[in-house]
Every structure is written in C-alpha cells, then in structure tokens.
Amino acid sequence: MSKKQLIMETALELFAKQGFEATSVQQITDHCGISKGAFYLSFKSKDELILALIDHFMMQITADIDYIVRNAKNEDLLFQFYYSIYQSFYKHSDFAKVLMKEQSHTFNEELILKMQHYDKLISEAILSMIERLYGNAVKETKYDLMYGIKGFMNTYSQLFVFYNVPLDLKRLAESLVEKTNLLARHTTVPFVTEDLVEMIKFNQPGDLTTAKEQILPLIESKMEEMKDSIEKESLMLLKGELLEPMFPPAVVKGLIENIRRHPHCKWVSYLLIRYFELHKKS
Amino acid sequence: MSKKQLIMETALELFAKQGFEATSVQQITDHCGISKGAFYLSFKSKDELILALIDHFMMQITADIDYIVRNAKNEDLLFQFYYSIYQSFYKHSDFAKVLMKEQSHTFNEELILKMQHYDKLISEAILSMIERLYGNAVKETKYDLMYGIKGFMNTYSQLFVFYNVPLDLKRLAESLVEKTNLLARHTTVPFVTEDLVEMIKFNQPGDLTTAKEQILPLIESKMEEMKDSIEKESLMLLKGELLEPMFPPAVVKGLIENIRRHPHCKWVSYLLIRYFELHKKS
DNA sequence: TTGACAAATGACTAACTGGTCATTAGTATA
DNA sequence: TATACTAATGACCAGTTAGTCATTTGTCAA
C-alpha cells in the first residue's frame, strides 16, 4: 500500500471518530507511524487530504448510482437503486460519518463547490430514473419526488451510521421502494416545483464539461497505477478509441464493462460512458 | 438588551456563518464591542454559551410542537404540526443553520446528551400524534412513519436553510400533510420496527423526570426577569398551585395559556402541562 | 567502498486558541 | 469631594495548531 493510501485510510478513521478540525496532522502521522514531514511529501496541506478523500469516495458512489440508473431493468430499478446506495454507505460507513459530521462546514470554499458538484450529478441521475419509471405521470411532481428520495436516503442512512445495529439492507430497500411508489403515484400537491428549482440554481456553478482533454490524462495516470491485466489493456484500447473512434458501440461498452468494477476505474468509466453517449455517431 | 443576550445574538450569527469551532471568543467580543474579559463575566466558558443557545431555542421549539400535538383538532393537526415547525425554523433560521453545521459534532459530551434529550422529546410528541391520528391502523408501521416525518422535517428544512428563497410555508405544510397521509394509509413494508427501536435505545440515557423541585426554581428565575403583567401574575398563581393545589383544571389550563406565548415562558409552560397531567386528581 | 541522490525526520516557527487576573474606569452613596 | 463598590479591560499565559526546512538516514549504481 502506498504512503498516500495509508494516510488516507488512517485519516478517514480518525475523522470519522473526531471530526476533521479536531484531528491534527500530528495525530494522523502518529497513527501511521510516520513523521509529520512525511505527511507533507504526500499532501500539500491538510485541506488537500480531505479533498482527496471526498473525491475518492464520491467518485465511486456517484459512478455506482449512475451505472444502476442506466442499466437496471425498469421492474427492479428502484430496488437496485436503494440497495446499492445503502451498500455503498455500509461499505464506506466511515466516510459517511465524516460527511455527516462535516455537512456543509464552511471551512473551505473549494470543498463546498465539490460537494455541490457531486450533489448535482446525483440529482441528475435520480431525476432521470424518475422520468424513466413514471414518465409523464409525475410531470408536476418529479422534483418533489426527487427531494423525497434524497430525504429517504439521508434519513435512513443516519440510522445506521450512528447506531451500530445490523440492518437488513434488502428489507430497507424494499420498504423504500414501496414508499417511493406511493409518493410517485398519489402525490397531488407538489411543493418543489420547476420554478423553485430554477430559483435555487443561482447557487450552482456551471458543471464540468466532460471533455476529451479531461479524460485522457486521467486514463494515463490510472494506467501507471495498474499492473498488466485485462483492465489495463481495456483502458489502453479505450484511450485509443478516444483519440480515434473505430470500434462499434458494443465493443466500447464491453471495454468499459471490463474496467467498471475496478475501484480505481469507477470514475473513469463513468466519464467515458457520458462521453461516448454525448459523441454518438449520428 | 442585557449583555448576555447581546452576546448570544451576536454569537449565533457568527456560528451560523462560520461554525462553532471556527468562531473565536475574541471575534464574538469584537463584534459585540466589548472586551474579552467581559465575555467571561456573562459566561463561564465558550461551551456554556453554546449550551445556553441550544437550550434557549430547543425549549421554544419543543414546547411549540408539544402544544400543537396536544391541542390542535384532529382534522388539521398534521397541517398545524408541519406549519408551526417550519415557522419555527424560518424564524430561527440562524439557529437551524448552527444545528445543521454542528450536527452530532463530537466536541462535547454534554451537548450530545442535550440534543438526544430534545430529540427524544420531539420523537415522543410525533409518535403520540401518529397514534391519535391513525390509531391501530399504523400499529406495525408507526415507527417507520415517525422516521418518515422526521425525514421530511429534515430534508425540506435544508431547502430553505441553505437557499435564501422566499417559500410558501402553507403550501409546504399542505404538501407534507398529503405525503404523510399517503405513507400512513398505504405502507405495508415497514422497516423501522418495534424491536429495531428497542435495539437503538441502548444509546439513550434516562430522561429527566418532571419534578416539582425542578420547576419551582425555574419559575422563580423567570419571575425575576419579567416586569409586572398578566403573565407574571399567572406565573405566581401557578407557583402557588404547584405548592398547594386548589384550582380546578380549567383554571390551571387558563393560567398556563396566559404565559404560553411569552417567549421566555414556553419551556415553563411545557413542563407545567406535563406536570399537571401527571398529577391529575384521580 | 564510495558517492550521489531521494526519502524521511522532528525541532522549530508563527499564528492562534480559550481562559485569567492585576489594573483601571465608572458610578453611586456619604 | 472622598470612599467603596462593581463593571470592564486587555496584556498575558499555557497550550495547540498547520506548515517548514536543515539535517539525517536509506538506497542505489559505479
């Protein structure tokens, strides 16, 4: 394990227990068994560390959600959605704790922008899921429904982030599927309407465009990290496809599928999916 | 305005903007135009200040909820409930911000206990509301419903705590009434069951008993704060009633009603209601 | 074995924190 | 005016912090 990873894992544990501000760099390095100076060889500052942590996990979670929404069949999409989310939270419960503790803390402008960015991506995924599932029937209530779903995600995750009881995640997902369907099919008094969303959008900065120039360096850095494997070869082929399209969509999809499960490639595959969708031969 | 109040108001603003830990005592006193020493004449420590703030607001909010749950007519109980809550949040939006920012921060054991205490009181109020409204029909799902309601409270308050858009609180309340009714009447797959609640209860310490000895000194201190008025006289009579019961319930209820709206008396009236209900002549 | 380079160290700095207390300013009474 | 009292001040203390950098340690190839 690289020093950077060691620091990130150790820091995450401490942040989850004590919070970001209450954890000193000294404490982190002590737990790692390295010196304070060594920390600053891996990270420029303490802030850079928390930003790296947020990216590391949010990329995975966002990519997971997006993949489910794009690929699950309609009849169990909602279940898969809730189930995979709570699995993520369960797997990365330390990270979830940090997120809840530091929720929107003002200590760093950049961090807030980052979180808003991921929040927006997730909202988009949820919205597209809603539209696919209920179509025109929720035209007036879809934003409300999105808020409801995010509310369920939030509320119920607090349950098992703070209390260490074993939970039946399948049952949880089933329960939320039912609730969501109820709200979707019978709501007649929406509150979060289109224009309210419009007003809120002021606070949102423009999104990152998914550009070739952004993805290429990312692929290259990932390839350096990885040892030779199917994944690495797939990455190389995808890089070629990015520079000069030649494969049919099915091949591209297969290549992406090859790398999708690799924890370090979730984000790359997410970006690639979006990119190739945007640049379909038409 | 007393120095204590000045400090509390100024500090609340700063805490809402920057968070508790990120705001120094020096900053607070600078904004107040007083010296650092003067701060410590009003508060023993910075911690005592945040505890005082939490008490000040949570007492009002808790008492409001409890009053609504006890007194609104069934047909618009749910609406009144949501409406008054969001009015509270709207009125005290700086406080709501602080709460969200510091949510479960580990910096103070006492503070966590305090918050758990208020949370428990609010949960009890919500649960009793649910039972009254839906009765046996929600026997299996009432805890789930409680979580749903708390989830709505949480999610939608984030909406207007973080974005400064004018909101139609009546509409919001109406919308949530509908959602709550939907969940209450059609849920068949509960997740938060009785035994799960039982397991969670480990983390909760025993509650404060509502004893005469607790209420009396509180009444006395409130009476000192107030100038002569109907409210003060009512307080005095209630104090007498506490020591030696003599009035019929209707009179007691009237006296409490007299003081209920006074911001400083919300908590006292809440305690008195509970006390007299527990010690009914029977 | 030597020399050259990179990796790691931890004493140190400058800034800031919550909290204290000898001193001073202000005020009411005699 | 003189006295006695409280209210208020801000320099100061001890402690902690993020971040730096001269120095040491480790690891290669020659």
Structure tokens at A12: 């995450």
The four Cα atoms B118, B122, B124, B127 give a dihedral, to 10 degrees, of -160
To the nearest whole angstrom, how far is the Cα of B246 from the nearest Cα of chain A? 47
Contacts of A186 in chain B (CB under 8 A): 182, 186
A3 touches strand C (CB under 7 A): yes
**Residue A141 sits in the same domain as residue A81:** yes
CATH of the domain at A36: 1.10.10.60
**Residue B183 sits in the same domain as residue B221:** no
CA distance between the termini of chain A = 45
A155 touches strand D (CB under 7 A): no
Provide the angle, in degrees to the nearest 10, between the axes of the packed helices A74-91 and A109-134: 150
A38 touches strand C (CB under 7 A): yes
Beta carbons of A154 and B154 less than 8 Å apart: yes
**Residue A197 sits in the same domain as residue A58:** yes
**Residue A73 sits in the same domain as residue A182:** yes
CATH of the domain at A88: 1.10.357
- Nucleotide with minimal C1' distance from the CA of A39 is C8
Q: Residue A183: its pLDDT value, please? A: 95
- Nucleotide with minimal C1' distance from the CA of B38 is D8
To the nearest whole angstrom, how far is the Cα of A108 from the nearest Cα of chain B? 10
Per-residue DSSP letter, A20: S
The answer to whether B59 and B266 have CB atoms below 8 angstroms apart is yes
Query: Which nucleotides of strand C come closer than 7 angstroms to any CB of the protein?
Result: 7-12, 16-22
Residue of chain B whose Cα is closest to the Cα of A180: B183
**Residue B12 sits in the same domain as residue B148:** no
The four Cα atoms B89, B93, B95, B97 give a dihedral, to 10 degrees, of 110
- The number of angstroms, rounded, from the C-alpha of B67 to the middle of its chain's C-alpha atoms is 11
Average pLDDT for runs of 10 along chain A of length 282:
85 86 89 90 90 87 85 87 87 82 62 78 87 91 92 83 75 91 94 79 52 78 73 86 86 86 76 78 54
Residue nearest to nucleotide C6 (CA to C1'): A41
Beta carbons of B155 and A151 less than 8 Å apart: yes
To the nearest whole angstrom, how far is the Cα of A156 from the nearest Cα of chain B? 8
Beta carbons of B191 and A172 less than 8 Å apart: yes
- Nucleotide with minimal C1' distance from the CA of B28 is C18
B4 touches strand D (CB under 7 A): no
**Residue A67 sits in the same domain as residue A183:** yes
**Residue B194 sits in the same domain as residue B62:** yes
To the nearest whole angstrom, how far is the Cα of A168 from the nearest Cα of chain B? 9
Place of tokens 């919300």: B266
Structure tokens at B60: 């009002």
Domain boundary among B156, B176, B203: B203
Q: Residue A225: its pLDDT value, please? A: 67
**Residue B183 sits in the same domain as residue B61:** yes
> Distance (Å, rounded) from C-alpha A278 to C-alpha A265?
20
Domain boundary among B159, B175, B203: B203
Give tens-digit pLDDT for B64-113. 888 888 888 888 888 988 888 888 888 888 888 877 766 655 556 677 77
To the nearest whole angstrom, how far is the Cα of B190 from the nearest Cα of chain A? 6
Q: Residue A184: its pLDDT value, please? A: 94
What is the total residue count of chain B?
282
A41 touches strand D (CB under 7 A): no
What is the total residue count of chain A?
282
Which residue among B154, B162, B174 sits closest to A151, beta carbon to beta carbon? B154
Residue nearest to nucleotide C17 (CA to C1'): B24
Q: Residue A1: its pLDDT value, please? A: 63
The answer to whether A56 and A225 have CB atoms below 8 angstroms apart is no
Which residue among B22, B162, B183 sits closest to A179, beta carbon to beta carbon? B183
A40 touches strand D (CB under 7 A): yes
Q: Residue B205: its pLDDT value, please? A: 44
In three-state secondary structure terms, A118 is helix
Q: Residue A148: its pLDDT value, please? A: 92
Closest CA to B119 of B21, B179, B207, B210: B207
Q: Which contacts (CB < 8 Å, 24+ apart) does range B115-118 have? A: B115/B54, B115/B58, B116/B203, B116/B204, B116/B205, B117/B205, B117/B207, B117/B208, B118/B54, B118/B58, B118/B62
Query: Which nucleotides of strand D come closer than 7 angstroms to any CB of the protein?
Result: 7-12, 16-22
- Nucleotide with minimal C1' distance from the CA of B39 is D8
Q: How many domains does chain A have?
A: 3
**Residue B253 sits in the same domain as residue B182:** no
B30 touches strand C (CB under 7 A): no
- The number of angstroms, rounded, from the C-alpha of A40 to the middle of its chain's C-alpha atoms is 27
Beta carbons of A105 and B107 less than 8 Å apart: no
Which residue among B100, B172, B203 sits closest to A104, beta carbon to beta carbon? B100
Contacts of A17 in chain B (CB under 8 A): 106
**Residue A158 sits in the same domain as residue A261:** no
A4 touches strand C (CB under 7 A): no
Rounded, the Å distance between the CA of B38 and C1' of C30 is 30
> Distance (Å, rounded) from C-alpha B185 to C-alpha A182?
10
Contacts of B191 in chain A (CB under 8 A): 156, 171-172, 175-176
**Residue A124 sits in the same domain as residue A193:** yes
**φ and ψ at A23, to 5 degrees?**
-105, 120
B41 touches strand D (CB under 7 A): yes
**Residue A26 sits in the same domain as residue A110:** no
Domain boundary among B170, B186, B203: B203
Residue segments in chain B with a per-residue pLDDT below the cut of 70? 1, 101-109, 164-165, 201-210, 224-225, 263, 280-282
The residue segments making up the domain with residue B259 are 212-278
Helix, strand, coil distribution of chain A in percent, nearest 5: 80, 0, 20
